[in-house]
A and B are shown apart, each in its own frame.
Chain A
Amino acid sequence: MSEPLLIDLSKKGRKAYCFPPLDLPRGFEQALPSLPQNLVRQQDARLPEVAELDVVRHFTRLSNLVHGVDNGMYPLGSCTMKYNPKLSEHIAGMREFTQIHPLQDVSTSQGCLSVMYNLLEDLSSITGMSWGTLQPCAGAHGEYTGLKMIRSYFVKKGQNQRTKVLIPISAHGTNPASAAVNGFDVVPIASDGEGMVDLEDLASKLDENTAALMLTNPNTLGLFEKHILRISEMVHASGALLYYDGANLNAIMGMATPGDMGFDVIHLNLHKTFSTPHGGGGPGSGPVMCNDALRPFLPKPDIELTDSGYVYRWDEEDSIGKVSLFWGNFLVLLRAYVYILRMGSEGIRAAARHAVLNANYVAARLEPAFEIPYGKRCMHEFVLSCAHLKEQYGVSAQDVAKALIDEGYHPPTMYFPSLVSEALMIEPTESESLETLDAFIDTMLAIAERAKTDPESLQTAPHTTVVGRLDEVRAVKQPDLRY
Chain B
Amino acid sequence: MIYPYIPHTDEDRKHMLKAIGVDSLDQLFDGLGEDLLLADSVPISHGRTEDEVQRMIDSIAQRNVRGIPFLGCGCYDHIIPATVKALSSLPSFVTAYTPYQAEMSQGLLQAIYEFQSMVCEITGLDVANASLYDGANAASEAASLMIGAKRKATTVLVSETLHPFTLQVLKTWAKGTAHTIRLIAEKDGVVDLSDLASLLDDGCAGLIVQSPNRYGLLEDYTDVASLLHERGCLFAISNDPLSLAMQKSPAEWGADIGIGDTQSLGLSLAFGGPSCGYMAVKEALLRRIPGRIVGATVDGQGRRGYTLTFQAREQHIKRERATSNVCSNQALAALMTTIHLSSLGWGGMVEAANQSYAKAHYLAYHLAQLPGITLIWDKPFWCEFPLVFSDAKRMRKFLQELRNEGIFAGVRLSALTRQVKDELVLLVAVTEKRSREELEMYLAAARRVMK
Contact = CB atoms under 8 A, between A and B. Distances in A.
Check if A and B associate: yes
Contacts of B380: 35-36, 39
Given A96-B61, A357-B28, A350 B111 contact: no
Interface stretch (A197-205, A233-241, A337-345, A383-391): A337-345
Interface in A301-341: 314, 320-332, 338, 340-341
Contacts of B45: 341, 344-345
Contact of A70 (B92, B116, B271, B331): B92
B248 A41 contact: yes
A325 B332 contact: no
B99 A255 contact: no
Contact of A252 (B32, B274, B344): B32
B297 A95 contact: no
Given A101-B71, A434-B12, A63 B93 contact: yes
Contact of B108 (A66, A346, A351): A66
B91 A68 contact: yes
Contacts of B348: 15-17, 19
Interface string B260-283: 010000001111111110000000
A281 B130 contact: yes
Contact of A2 (B105, B304, B432): B304
A58 interface: yes
Given A66-B106, A114-B60, A183-B177, A39 B344 contact: no
Contacts of B99: 66, 280-281
Interface in B163-215: 163, 165-166, 168-169, 171-172, 175-179
B326 interface: yes
B284 interface: no
Contact of A475 (B7, B274, B296, B322): B296
Contact of B85 (A93, A114, A282): A93
A62 B104 CA distance: 11
A331 B41 contact: no
Contact of B42 (A67, A330, A348, A469): A348
B42 A126 contact: yes
B303 interface: yes
Nearest to A136: B133
A47 B361 contact: no
B36 A68 contact: no
Given A173-B317, A331-B270, A354 B307 contact: no
A439 interface: no
Nearest to B124: A43
5 contacts: A2-B305, A60-B87, A63-B92, A470-B103, A480-B297
A172 B102 contact: no
The 10 lowest CB-CB distance pairs between A and B, nearest first, are A326-B272, A102-B272, A344-B47, A279-B332, A68-B95, A65-B107, A62-B107, A96-B61, A467-B305, A173-B316
B343 A52 contact: yes
A17 B333 contact: no
B273 A279 contact: no
A173 B315 contact: yes
B350 to A, nearest CB: 8
Nearest to B261: A325
A103 B352 contact: no
Nearest to A253: B42
Contacts of A47: 118, 121, 341-342, 344-346, 349
B44 interface: yes
Contacts of A95: 66
B230 interface: no
Contacts of B169: 321-325
A42 B307 CA distance: 33
Contacts of B220: 36, 38-39
A279 to B, nearest CB: 3
B95 A224 contact: no
Contacts of B73: 103
A19 B332 contact: no
Given A65-B108, A255-B29, A326-B74, 14 more contacts: A23-B436, A41-B247, A45-B122, A47-B346, A56-B83, A67-B101, A139-B327, A281-B130, A283-B133, A322-B165, A325-B272, A358-B16, A430-B6, A434-B7
A356 B17 CA distance: 11
A102 B331 contact: no
B362 interface: yes
Contacts of B103: 402, 405, 462, 465-470
Interface string A166-194: 00000011101111111100100000000
A365 to B, nearest CB: 6
B392 interface: no
Interface residues of A, number: 202
B310 interface: yes
A104 B293 contact: no
Contacts of A465: 103-104, 106
Contact of A340 (B44, B247, B297): B44
A346 B274 contact: no
Contact of A327 (B177, B272, B315): B272
A91 B310 CA distance: 38
A482 interface: yes
A446 interface: no
B117 A482 contact: yes
A381 interface: no
B5 A330 contact: no
Interface stretch (B51-59, B368-376, B441-449): B51-59
B416 to A, nearest CB: 7
B60 A115 contact: yes
Interface in B357-412: 357-359, 361-362, 365, 380, 403, 408, 411
Interface string B305-349: 111011010111111111111111111110100010111111111
Contacts of A353: 25, 28-29
Contacts of B420: none
B28 to A, nearest CB: 5
A281 B331 contact: yes
Given A59-B111, A68-B92, A181-B144, A50 B5 contact: no
